[in-house]
Amino acid sequence: MLSGAAVMAALLSACTGGPPDPRKAAEALAAGLAKQDLKGIPAVKGGRIPQADLKRIVEGMGSARAKVTVGDIEKDGDSATATLKTSWTFKGADWTYATPAKLAYEDDEWRVKWSPAIVAPRLTADEALRMRTSPADRGDIVGAGGKGLVIERPVERIGIDKSRIKAAEADGSARALARLIDIDADRFAKAVKAAGPQAFVVGLVVRADSDDTLSDAQIASIPGAAQLGAVLPLAPTKGFGQPLLGVVGEATAEIIAKSKGSVSPGDLVGLTGLEQRYDSQLRGNPGVTVEAVAGSKAREVFSSAPRPGKTLRTSIDVKLQGAADEILSNVKPASAIVAIRPSSGKIVALASGPGGKGADTAAAGHYAPGSTFKLVTALAFLRSGLKPSSTVPCTPTVTVEGRRFKNYSDYPGSAIGNIPLSAAIANSCNTAMIATRGKAPQGKLAAAAAALGLGPDLDLGYPAYLGSVPSKAGGTEHAASMIGQGKIEASPLAMAVVAASIAHGSRVTPTLLDQSPTKPAAKPADPLTNGEAKQLQELFRGVVTSGSGRFLLDLPGKPVSAKTGTAEYGTDTPPRTHAWMIATQGDLAVAVFVDDGDSGSGTAGPLLEEFLRSAQ
């Protein structure tokens, strides 16, 4: 006896002249193929099981998924043929094709006449798909004049070649090599054990020209040990341009998961710095090959050539960056040297010393700028009617709301008293700045800072902090602001911008990359005038000709202008101090910072002098 549904289907068939439209069945098949799930798709009785077959066929495609749609359908009584349009989208390439899917009307429903050729053209019953990728050449990071910063350089891959040893030897060899190259023995032995019998398991990658490579005798002493040459994207030296440039390494599981199929295990990707931020540009598009595989036989069904990554162009000067990195290499506290071209705003050196333990001290540091900020204070004074020759009171101490401020310990006694503003700036008199604070309300300080490039929000195409100057502060906080302390913060990059703006005569906007920033800085509400710039340049130069920067007078080349700075921080007694110095010479503006130092001239000064001499 027929069920009610079967009777209704039979009546419908009789009324319409045949089975219903097979399109819904074809669309369900297409959706199942796209999801790689055909468990709910009925197949013709006695035929192959679609889901089991599909799982075997697409297993070698990894995380790639196809988009499948239904085209034309030809119906002939209880049979139909649907044209399925399939598209696999790989990074930089598409594989598209059409395949026929036959359907038969059985037991009052359309069923699939399953065949592997539905999945891909001419796929036979014993074949499966396999996708392989070939990496693209990674784009270079270059500096000023197109000189290579990060380019392919030779390396040696040190590890265990399991194809050359017996399984029983693997653990001992792995541990012996780990001890030799100073890596975690347990972790490396575990990795060697987990790898396949033909695998080469890398323990360490070193520069080919370094002292860390192994001798032939060392390699020969450990069964299965090998040292294989390769190339990797590297900077000129290990510490060059770090953390700015960043590093490249094998993709982590997290990166692979977030890539939505664009990154595969073993791929090289940017892990930090510019290499990470511009990884998709630098990495390019891998080549893709899809094969139909049956046992040891394989035939190619699709291929696309890799497309190399695009070069990332920066303004970094190889010579200046290298000099800055070398100068900071033995500085124990966090430190930085930043250099900018005042004429263009191009950043030519952005060096963070190893004492920062990988932190981007140069571009992202938040520090009180101390007395280097007095040039900003001087601009606020000039705008209130003072001149470089105006008299200000420089006393040994000054008290504001019960808080006692004093000058630095080596302040010259000859510069105490009623002195010109120029002398107060040249010798860095704290008390003169604080005693004259009525001429520079906090809002005026913030406006002066903005005119010199300190504080504006700016997208460099790279994370950077250009400082913060509160527009409101009173009492002791306002007094501390006059000498670059309180709640005022700046990065070494920000203070290099201040120096560059004074030298240029108008606010300088720093740039690092050839490509334009996505968020240009807003124009200052009260920009620097020509008259103000000339007076600031006079004050800036006076520090070298008659103040705390006199040790720079004998530098060869164009005249040097400079400003020293020391900023107290922390809760220690006596307080610890940041050491600063900013300077300009010709078309170069420089900021030097050391997190813990005795004074600007004594700690940062020698580093600045060495850098300026290296730039000659």
| DSSP codes, 295-310 | TTEEEEEEEE--BPPP
pLDDT(549) > 70: yes
How far apart CA 472 and CA 483 sit, in angstroms, is 16
| DSSP codes, 394-441 | E-SEEEETTEEEE--TT--GGG-EEEEHHHHHHHT-HHHHHHTGGGS-
Q: How confident is the model at residue 460 (pLDDT cuts 50, 70, 90)?
A: confident
Question: Which amino acid belongs to residue 584?
Answer: T
Residue 182: enclosing H or E segment and its boundaries?
none
pLDDT(1) > 70: no
Closest by Cα among 563, 599, 562 to 579? 599
Closest by Cα among 265, 266, 271, 306 to 287? 306
Name the phi and psi angles at 375, rounded to 5.
-70, -35
| Tokens describing residue 350 | 């952005």
How far apart CA 157 and CA 214 sit, in angstroms, is 10
pLDDT(387) > 90: yes
pLDDT(523) > 90: no
Q: Please give the average per-residue pLDDT across 14-36, as a whole number.
A: 86
**What are the tens digits of pLDDT across the range 27-74?**
999 999 999 999 989 999 877 778 989 999 999 998 889 999 999 999
β-sheet bridge partners, residue 291: 130, 300
Q: Check residue 9 and give its pLDDT.
A: 43
| Tokens describing residue 193 | 């054990």
Q: Please give the average per-residue pLDDT across 307-314, as a whole number.
A: 96
Q: How confident is the model at residue 117 (pLDDT cuts 50, 70, 90)?
A: very high
Q: How confident is the model at residue 15 (pLDDT cuts 50, 70, 90)?
A: very low
Q: What is the dihedral of CA 265, 271, 275, 280, to 10 degrees?
A: 40
β-sheet bridge partners, residue 337: 351, 592
Q: Answer whether 333's CB lies under 8 Å from 596's CB.
A: yes
pTM (two decimals) = 0.85
Tokens 């089975």: give the residue.
19
- Reported for 215-218, long-range contacts at CB under 8 A and 24+ positions apart, including other chains, are 218/180
| Tokens describing residue 88 | 């696999």
Q: Please give the average per-residue pLDDT across 540-554, as a whole number.
A: 97
**What are the tens digits of pLDDT across the range 189-206?**
999 999 999 999 999 999
Q: Check residue 518 and give its pLDDT.
A: 55
Q: How confident is the model at residue 517 (pLDDT cuts 50, 70, 90)?
A: low
How far apart CA 542 and CA 593 sit, in angstroms, is 21
Residue 95: enclosing H or E segment and its boundaries?
strand 93-106
pLDDT(607) > 90: yes
pLDDT(6) > 90: no
Rg (CA), the chain: 35
Q: Answer whether 214's CB lies under 8 Å from 142's CB.
A: no
pLDDT(538) > 60: yes
Q: Check residue 609 and give its pLDDT.
A: 98
Q: Check residue 498 and give its pLDDT.
A: 98
Q: Check residue 229 and give its pLDDT.
A: 95
How far apart CA 608 and CA 601 sit, in angstroms, is 9
SS3 for 102-115 is: EEEEECCEEEECCC
**What are the tens digits of pLDDT across the range 316-334?**
999 999 999 999 999 999 9
Q: Check residue 12 and give its pLDDT.
A: 43
Q: Answer whether 490's CB lies under 8 Å from 369's CB.
A: yes
Q: ∠ at Cα 607 (606, 611), nearest 5°?
A: 115
How far apart CA 106 and CA 109 sit, in angstroms, is 5
How far apart CA 214 and CA 216 sit, in angstroms, is 7
What is the rounded average pLDDT for all residues in the chain?
93
**What are the tens digits of pLDDT across the range 118-176?**
999 999 999 999 998 888 999 999 999 999 999 999 999 999 999 999 999 999 999 99
pLDDT(111) > 50: yes
Q: Look at strands 141-142 and 312-313 and give their pairing.
A: parallel
Q: Please give the average per-residue pLDDT across 434-463, as a whole number.
A: 93
**What are the tens digits of pLDDT across the range 266-304?**
788 999 999 999 999 999 988 999 999 999 999 999 999
Q: Check residue 357 and give its pLDDT.
A: 95
pLDDT(207) > 90: yes
Instruction: Go through the domains of the chain in sequence order and give each one's CATH number.
Output: 4-126 (3.10.450.50), 141-313 (3.90.1310), 318-614 (3.40.710.10)
Q: Check residue 520 and give its pLDDT.
A: 67
| Tokens describing residue 575 | 């307080």
Q: Check residue 224 and give its pLDDT.
A: 96
How far apart CA 352 and CA 138 sit, in angstroms, is 25
In sequence order, which residues have a C-beta less than 8 Å from that of residue 516 and are 6 or more positions away?
A: none
Question: Which amino acid belongs to residue 189?
Answer: A
How far apart CA 540 and CA 141 sit, in angstroms, is 36
β-sheet bridge partners, residue 435: none
Q: Please give the average per-residue pLDDT across 493-502, as a whole number.
A: 98
Q: Read off the DSSP letter of residue 212.
A: T
| Tokens describing residue 117 | 């050729």
Question: How many other C-beta atoms are found inside a 10 Å radius of the C-beta of residue 108?
Answer: 17
